[in-house]
Every structure is written in structure tokens, then in C-alpha cells.
Amino acid sequence: MSFWTNKRVVVTGGAGFLGTHLVERLRRGQPAAIFAPRRKEYDLREADAIQRVLRDARPNVIIHLAGNVGGIGANRAHPAEFFYDNLMMGVQLMHEAWRCGVEKFVAIGTVCAYPKFTPVPFREEDLWNGYPEETNAPYGLAKKMLLVQSQAYRDQYGFDSIFLLPVNLYGPGDSFDPAKSHVIPALIKKCVDARERGDDHLIVWGDGSPTREFLYVEDAAEGIALATERYNSSAPVNVGAAFEISIRDLVDLIVRLTGFQGKVVWDTTQPNGQPRRKLDTSKAEKEFGFVAKVKFEEGLRRTIEWYEQVRLAERVTV
């Protein structure tokens, strides 16, 4: 934890889902300051806004979490925005950080950067062996360019930047907005809403055959913090939980935990997304000692309980 002593840290996206958990984790290291720029004040797609962040925060360390993200539907509807927004934020931020003499830059990539048919488990050396799954390729490739930039700036300038590849995250504080949410919050909301309405069925996209790996958000925050403290290479590193579950089994589990009593109907006219996702996480354990701790069902219980409490509080407020 002594790494953080006297450090001034910028966490882009620090008020978001992962960002709030990461900021809480960083506070335990007692840095000199943590600065989380908000979009309404600093639009990181604009170079002048990035320069103002650097002048205002004077950071030693930047952890770049901010991004325009969403599920399959959002990626299909807004591929250009997902590409442009994420590319412009990341590339300009890393460039300006180098120009200002920032000591360390941590770029957060995405599992969507992997090729569509990557052998399972996904190993970092397979990252360039094909094109990403089409529905989220613009987003995945925009984030992947930060890896290219990190390696180029380290080679030419000796700039200390690292690139992490987390799997899909879940946990308390996630977005349950149907237009933006990923699979777990989307399914939790579907099941809870259907249960409360007394529906006899709910509809889920695809056929349930794809597999996914999910990482509890507090574990993700711990992994990012450990990598920032201990890892000093531009070679990419997976950050995950080292397991996979089929979407069909995931739906069955969420149905049971939420108490929905109806039938699940699979809409096979909608896309499945990438066939399988499971990371090889051995490099993260070897390089900076990260191993996920929260068991999946326990993490789901915590997430569902949080969502139910938020819904109840909203009703009381209204």
C-alpha cells in the first residue's frame, strides 16, 4: 500500500460502477489526492478538457476506466459512437499524460477485444489472432488501440503504461437501465419485474448456449489496484474469475434467486454474441498476485439484494 503514499491519482469514470469501488479501494492506500473528473465538467473526448484535467489534478497516476459501454443492443444501435467516443477518450488521454510527465498510466481494455473464435481459455497471446465478435467489434477495437499505444509509447519514450483486460463485471451499483445494461443486470431486472407483475413468462435473447465469465466488481477493483502497484510492462494481462457459465444456466440461477415462477422463452431471432468467453488468469496471479475471491452465486445474491433495496427506496421516495 506504500505505493500510494503522496500520489495524486486521476480515476476517469471514478463516479461510475467500477470507478466508485476502485476509488474506495484506493483510499485505503491513503494517496495525497484522488480526482474523478465528471463528464459535465470534463468531456474527455475533447483534448482541451483532458488538458484541463491534467492541470487541475496534477496526477502522478492515471487509471482510465471511463468509456461509452452497453450490451449487445446498444452496441448494434450505436457502433460509430462506441468506436469514436472510446478511441478519442483513450488515445488523447494517454498522449497528454505522456506529454505532462505522468508517472504511470493504467488503461482498462475489454474482453470484447478478443477474436470471436478465440480458443478457450483466452490467453493474452491470442489477442491478435482474428477479428472480434461483430456486434461489439467497434467498441473492442477502440479499446484495443490503447494496447498498441501503450507498447509504442513505452518503446519510443519509456512511458510506464499498462493494459488490463477484464471480463464482464457485475455487482452492486451496476446499471440496470435496459438501454445500457449488460447481461446480468438486464436479466435481474427482467426477472424481478416479471415476478412483481405476476407474468407467466419472460423473454430472453438468443438460445442460451453461449458461455460467459463474470467478475465481481470489488474483485475487479482489487485486481486493478494490485496491477497499478506491482506491474510494469505493456504486455496485456487478463483480469477475471477463471470460470465460465452458459447463459442458459445463468438465467436459471437468476430465476431461482429472484423467485420468478414463470417460464423462460428464448427468442432465437436475436443474436447470441460471442460463442464462449473464459480467460486464462494465470498471468495476473503470477505478475501481481491477483486471484478473484467472491464466489459467483454469493456475488449474484449481493447484487440482487442491492437492486431490490434500491427499488424499495425509490418507491418510498415517490
Residue 139 a catalytic site member: yes
Give SS3 for 214: strand
- Return d(Cα 63, Cα 11) in angstroms, integer: 5
Furthest C-alpha separation in the chain: 62
Task: Report which residue type is found at 31.
Answer: P
Q: Among residues 139, 153, 231, 307, which one is catalytic?
A: 139
Q: Where are the beta strands (DSSP E) in 252-313?
A: 263-267
Amino acid letter at 35? F
> d(Cα 255, Cα 276) in Å, to the nearest integer?
22
Q: Which residues contact 269 (CB under 8 A, 6 or more apart)?
A: none
Contacts of 201 by beta carbon, 8 Å cutoff, 6+ apart:
194, 262, 263, 264, 265
Instruction: Give, rounded to a whole angstrom, the gap between the first and last alpha carbons of the chain.
Output: 43
Record the cell numbers describing residue 57, joined without a space: 489534478
Residue length, the chain?
318
Asked if 239 contacts 228 with a C-beta cutoff of 8 angstroms, the reply is: no
Look at the block and give the residue holding cell 477484464.
166
Nearest to 110 by CA among 136, 131, 89: 136
Catalytic residues: 139
